[in-house]
Each structure stands twice: as C-alpha cells, then as structure tokens.
Amino acid sequence: MFDSLRGRLLSSYILIILVALIVVAVALFGFASLTAVRDLPALQRLAAISLTNIYELRRLQESGADPGTFERFLSQTAQDHNVRILVANSATRQVIYDSGQENSWVGVFIDDVNKPRRLSFDVERNTVYGRFRHPNGSLWLVYSQPLQFFNRALIFYAQREPTAVEFFRDFFLEPLLWAGLAAFLLSILLAAWIARSVAKPLQHLATAAESVAHGDYGQRLPLEGPLEVKRVAASFNSMGEQVQAGRQSQHDFVTNVSHDLRTPITSISGWSQALLDGTAVTHEERHQAAGVIHDEAERMQRLVDELLDLAQIESGQLELALQAVDLTLLVNNIYQALSPRAEALGLVMNLETEPVPQVNGDADRLTQAISNIVENALIYTRHGGQVCLVVQPGLNNLVLIAIEDDGPGIPLAEQERIFERFYRLDKSRVRDERSRGSGLGLAIAKELVEAHRGWIELQSAEGRGSKFLIYLPVASGH
C-alpha cells in the first residue's frame, strides 16, 4: 500500500490528521481542566431544575401538602433529572432530607460553599451555589435559591462535580471523533484525486517511452497535471525531438557518405576496368586512367580523414596539443603553402598582418581550420578574383583572422546552414565538379575554433563575396 503514490499520500494525511487531532484534544483537555469552565454548565443545569420546580413547590405549599407529598415530589424530580435534592434547615444549613438512596447527606452542614473563580453566573441575591466538599471527601456542585414561601428550609440541587476527563468525554470527544472521521474520508478522496492527476500523465509518459523504445520517435506528450509532471513531459518531448533529430542526422549522414563514396568508387572501378580489359591502350590513356584512379583514391582518403576528424571532435576525444601560437606566422605559412594553388587558379592572394599577441592553441588544428576556409575561398572564387588574408588584434583580448574573397557570396538564408555537416550550396557554383568538397570543411573548422574557445562569423551577400572572421582568445599573460 505504501509503495503507491496514493498510499503514501493517504498515510501522510492520516498522520497529519492524527497530529492535528491530538493537538486539538490536548488544547481542549487543558480548557476542560479549568474548573470555572467545567462547573458552569452543571450549575446552570441545577439552576434550571430549581427554577422549574418553584411553581410546583409553591402550589404544594399553598395547598398545605404534607411532608410525604413533598418528599415524593422531590424524589421524583431527582430521579427525572438525575440530580440529588437535599433539604436543609435554612438557619443551620444542616441537611434533613436527601433524595439519594443511601442517606449519606443527612446531618451534613452545607455551610462552606465555594464559588469557582472567574465564574460569571447570573443569579438572584442570596442564592447559594458553588463547589462543596462532602465530609466523605467527594466534590459536589450545589445550587439553592431561597424561596420566600418556604423560609424554614433550603432546597439544594446537587450533583457531583465532573472531572476534566468526564467533561472532555461528554462535550468534546464525540465532535472530535466525527471531525477525525470527516477528515479521514476527505483525505481518501484528496489522495485519490492527487494520485490520479499525477499517475495519469506518468502512465502516458511510460507508454510513450515504450513506444520510443520500439522505434516510434514521433511520440509527444500533452503538458498536463501538476507543474513537476508537466516539466517531465516537456523534458520528454524535447528529448524525443533530439532523438528524432539525431536519428534523422544519422540517416542523412549515412546517405551522404555513401553518396560521396559512390562517385569516386564508380570512377575508380570504370578506369581500372579500362586498364584491365585493355580499352586503355595508348600510354596517354593508361596514364590518364592511373591519374584519375589516384585522384579519386585521394579524394576518398580526404573524406575518410575528415569523417574521422569530425567523429573525434564530436565524441569529445579530440586532444589539443596546446602551446603558445603566433598566428601571424601560422597564417603566413598557410599563405606560402597555398600561393602556388592560387596562382594556378588565376587568383590574386594578399596577406596583411599586424603583430598580434600569442594564443594558446594547437598549431596543427588551427592550421587545419584556417586552411579549410582559405581553400574554400580559392575554390569558390572565379578566375581573376581576389582572396585576402588578414591577421590583426581584435578588441577584448582577441585575435582576428579574416579571410575575404570576391567570389559568388553566400545568400543570407544559407549562412547558418553552411556550417552544418555535408551542407553544400548548389553545384553550379563549383567550376570543376572534381574540386567539389565533401561539405565537411566548415563544420570541422567551426568545431576546431570552438574547441579553442573562439568562434567564426560570416559576412556575405549573394554576388558580393564572402568574409569569414575567426576570433580567438589571447593566451592569458599576453
């Protein structure tokens, strides 16, 4: 029972109810222990009985009833109201008649009656009322209103003073028990209602999670129930979206890789077939076949290398060999290495550097990231175009490397996406399909720069060239 939410709620409610009832009971018991509180209702009752008897007593007195008739009347009244009626001499206050079975009061002097303290009780003058200790030690409440027509005797109405326990039992126990029962029933309903409002969405969550486990990644949950449950549902939904996106990107990845491998493999298999079956006969033809096979194999090698790099970065296994790096020197090296290629493509490549503070980085990885961007500039800029490399100090302890070209530019809508894996703009932009990359270059560059706590920005517009800005933080202490 205590395993279920409902059971736990219910048991905690019962505990709270019990504690509340005990606190109330203790407070009420304390209240019942005050004699003024306890005695008042009893004295009022005695007063009421006395009052109702006056008329009958007067009638008996006036009709000259004998003592026997009086006795019978008083004894009957005592029985009817479950009180003790005592008749005492009004001068001496000595009891001469007792309605009780055993005449324990006869002869007792009721002369020391104490009014309980702090008891406000509206009575006629001369009325004797209060607590009286019987010679046998028992405590009584007595009430007597002197009657003019009955001046030789005093009629006392008496009852035992209730103890605190009796008073509590008579006045408070029953209401407390009813309150406890009502609270208990209410708590059962409340626990069932709350448990349902939590359990139902959780049940939905369990079913949805099972569906996801069976491959239905489109499962989403309605946001219902208490705040915490809503939060769980929202987390589940966002997890579902991520899993779905992950599955989609895995699917795209396999499609892209197989597509990118198919072209060189088809080419290699075609040209090697030509070599084997003797279709390529002349020296030039054989040379061409071998050249294509070599280029395609290199292209495949590049793709595999890039994939491995990306996998390493994304799995967090990339280890940077950090050292102080002079970016002016590093970019200068890239410039020297790629200048022949720029020249061969009919491009003008410029280098503008200013002295910059050193950064803390992995020189090989930074070279790889920057080269990817410079190579893109060379590939996508038309013959006669210009590519400019700039290194300069940036604001806020940053070094800025800018790679600017006057190529076709990148439409605004595509600027976010070109940093995604395998994302390429349309084919018409590449002058030679062979020089077409895998679509991984910018994704790798972005990851590598971010691994150095830097970032890449792009300023470009269609037809207006592109400017890639790489920001890297200066090594502390420089």
Contact positions toward ligand ADP, by CB under 6 A? 372, 376-377, 380, 405, 407-408, 410, 418, 423-425, 429, 437-443, 466
Residue 375 Cβ vs ligand ADP, minimum distance, rounded to whole Å: 8
Say if residues 370 and 330 touch (Cβ distance below 8 Å). Answer: yes
Phi and psi angles of residue 352, each rounded to the nearest 5 degrees, phi first:
-125, 115
Say if residues 153 and 89 touch (Cβ distance below 8 Å). Answer: yes
Say if residues 46 and 143 touch (Cβ distance below 8 Å). Answer: yes
Nearer to ligand ADP, 284 or 426 (CB): 426
Nearer to ligand ADP, 75 or 415 (CB): 415
Phi and psi angles of residue 471, each rounded to the nearest 5 degrees, phi first:
-110, 130
Cα Rg of the chain, angstroms: 52
Nearer to ligand ADP, 148 or 428 (CB): 428
Which residue's C-beta sits nearest to ligand ADP?
A: 437
Of 366, 332, 365, 338, the C-alpha closest to 351 is 332
Residue 12 CA to chain centroid, in angstroms?
21
Nearer to ligand ADP, 219 or 376 (CB): 376
Residue 249 Cβ vs ligand ADP, minimum distance, rounded to whole Å: 15
Nearer to ligand ADP, 327 or 377 (CB): 377
- Burial degree of 286 (CB within 10 A; 0-12, 13-18, 19+): middle
Residue 445 Cβ vs ligand ADP, minimum distance, rounded to whole Å: 7
Kind of pairing, strands 386-394 and 398-405? antiparallel
Residue 334 Cβ vs ligand ADP, minimum distance, rounded to whole Å: 15
Nearer to ligand ADP, 9 or 418 (CB): 418
Say if residues 386 and 348 touch (Cβ distance below 8 Å). Answer: yes
Nearer to ligand ADP, 13 or 468 (CB): 468
Nearer to ligand ADP, 47 or 310 (CB): 310
Q: How many Å from the N-terminal Cα to the C-terminal Cα in the chain?
A: 67
Of 108, 114, 79, 82, the C-alpha closest to 93 is 108
Nearer to ligand ADP, 155 or 445 (CB): 445
- Burial degree of 382 (CB within 10 A; 0-12, 13-18, 19+): middle
Residue 377 Cβ vs ligand ADP, minimum distance, rounded to whole Å: 5
